[in-house]
Structure 1
Amino acid sequence: MPYASVKGVDIHYRVDGPEDVDAPWLVLSNSLGSDLSMWAPQIAPFSARYRLLRYDTRGHGHSAAPAGSYTIEQLTGDVLGLFDELGIDRAHFCGISMGGLTGVALAARYPERIDRVVLANTAAKIGSDEVWLPRAERARNEGMSALAGAVLPRWFTPGFFEREALMFAQIRDVFVHTDGEGYASNCDAIRTADLRGETHNIRARALVIGGTHDLAATPAQGQELAASIRDARYVELDASHISNLERVEEFNHTVLDFLGEQA
């Protein structure tokens, strides 16, 4: 498995798509409690047009889970480290939930590295101390299985569990095997990240995707995020929090149409 060492932290990644050096790069960033496998339904259509870089956010999947609370600066630094390792000057970026928060910070702070940005089921400020502190404590003290029953039902609308039982079983398996300390450390990063004062710095063309039934990053928050970015649009899908899995075809078409538009 390929790894990049970013300031001593091993970040696991995968690259799909054409090896043509002129093909544009597209980076996919996972949500909290998942890993790069969450993008499986996007691999074939996205990699047909782009050099596709997926990675496990630190504390997730096969990436290292260093001790101590993480910060949004570390999460963005890991992406930039991957860019440097792979010789990527600029790329499109698509992140969901925590990955979208990372995308907000990257686009606001490093405009020279980001072309277009897709911010799905996210906000410039996600949740509060009342949400993240007890969740982090429980992950550290009780493990991920103790959180699954409360967290995962919020990811999808009720009918999803019956329609996609196998997919949900795979999602749950990834969640419960996520490193508890790594998960908690990412909760700390989300809790302390407030980017509402920075979104006006984003100059990249942006697509904000919301989920009609999303309770974690509500449609109102998505609309607010889009309104705060100069060149952004808002699209809402009939989904809850993990819209790329719940509404695969709509998500794929929406993202590809946006990325393929002429400037």
Structure 2
Amino acid sequence: MPLLTTDTGPLYYELTGPETAPVVVLSNSLGTDHTMWDAQLPALAGNFQVLRYDARGHGRSTVSAGPYSVAQLGQDVLDLLDGLGVAQAHFCGLSLGGLVGQWLGINAPERLLKLVLSSTAVKIGDAASWNARIAQVEAEGLAGLAAATAARWFTPPFRRSQPEAVARVLDGLAATSPSGYAACCAAVRDADFWKDIRQIPVATQIFAGSADPVTTETDGKYLEQYIPHAHLVVLRAAHLANVEAAAPFNAALLRFLRA
């Protein structure tokens, strides 16, 4: 089991693809793990080294004491790159992973080739709603979040037509550590890049789901407007656009990374 040891615990990762190819880092959302990118792996693996990992508090990575910050989660990515001897990489993050991508674009742009921000925003939600979710998870665990999460992550037609795909992702939510989830909720709660995204110098692709109730198309347009070299692609999907609209997501991602 590939683990990278950091000062605050191990991080699980998988690196696949040609050894001489550019590296693409895929960063998961809150309540998922590296397997949320399963639909992207076949499309990318022939042309890139794909580095998938479980964000701190998720999957097989460490569940260190919280709360976490996006800066801490971003440093985890830099530690992974350093540990694997990767000087620069493409980075693609969704939701929480997209916040990590914004932090990297602002604070470590020299480590990035290109940046992909999917289903994310400069600020996601408000403190009151995140504090309420943290309190619920700490008191009850994650079981009570499944129905509402499915409604945020996928449109009703997708939930009806692809129940097995939905179930696989929700199984990942159920397997997530409640304390790790709550610690990452705090990271999302406290992240705010309203002003700082203007500093991101690298070419940036933005994905937004037209039916995403969490990070809306308007949020994507804001990122496009204020990141200097950004382009927005809107997909017919809810929050987990890479799963619900995998084919157009993959096609646009490949065009951007190859350009």
TM superposition score category, shorter chain reference: over 0.9
Matches within 5 A, 1:92-131: 92-131=90-129
Q: Distance in 1 between matches of 2:38 and 2:197?
A: 29
Secondary structure of 2:39's partner?
helix
Which AA in structure 1 matches 2:56? Answer: R
1:200-239 correspondence to structure 2 within 5 Å: 200-239=198-237
Which of residues 162, 177, 180 in structure 2 aligns to 1:179?
Answer: 177
Partner Cα distance (1:29, 1:77) in 2: 13
Identity %: 40
Residue aligned with 2:68, SS: coil
| Corresponding residue SS for 1:49 | coil
Unaligned runs of 5+ in 1: none
- AA aligned opposite 2:38: A
1:236 aligned partner, one-letter code: V
1:44 corresponds, among 42, 45, 51, to: 42
- The match for 2:192 is 194
TM-score w.r.t. structure 2 length?
0.98
Query: Residue by residue, what CA displacement relative to the aligned partner does 1:28-57 show, whole Å, maximum 9, x if unpaired?
Result: 000000000000011111111101100000
1:130 deviates by: 2.2
Q: How many residues align?
A: 259
Q: Which amino acid aligns with 1:187?
A: C
What is the aligned partner in structure 2 of residue 88 from structure 1?
86
CA distance in 1, matches of 2:128, 2:218: 20
- How far 1:168 sits from its partner (Å)? 1.0
Gaps of 5+ in 2: none
Q: What are the superposed Cα offsets for residues 151-187 of structure 1, whole Å, 9 maximum, x if unpaired? A: 2211010011121111111111110110001000000
Q: Which residue of 2 aligns with 1:246?
A: 244
1:72 paired residue number:
70
Superposed CA deviations along residues 99-139 of structure 1, whole A, max 9, x for unmatched, are 01100110111011011000000011111012211111111
Match of 1:158 in 2: 156
Of the candidates 128, 138, 141, which is equivalent to residue 139 of structure 2? 141
2:58 is aligned, of 60, 63, 78, to 60
Find out whether 1:6 has 2:37 as its counterpart.
Answer: no
The residue matched to 1:136 in structure 2 has which SS? helix
Asked if structure 1 preserves the Cα contact closer than 8 Å seen for 2:150 and 2:166, the reply is no
Q: Distance in 2 between matches of 1:252 and 1:77?
A: 27
Give the CA RMSD over aligned residues. 0.8
Corresponding residue for residue 30 of structure 2:
32
Residues of 1 paired with 2:149 and 2:43: CA distance? 29
* Secondary structure of 1:34 counterpart: coil
TM-score normalised by L of structure 1 = 0.97
Q: Give the 4+ runs in structure 1 shifted more than 3 A.
A: none
Residue type at the aligned position of 1:63:
S
State the distance in 1 between where 2:8 and 2:129 align.
30
Q: Residues 63-101 of structure 1, C-alpha deviation per residue, up to 9 Å, x if partnerless?
A: 011122000110001000001100010000000110011
Matched letter for residue 130 of structure 2: W
Contact map agreement 2:105 2:201 (CA 8 A) in 1:
yes
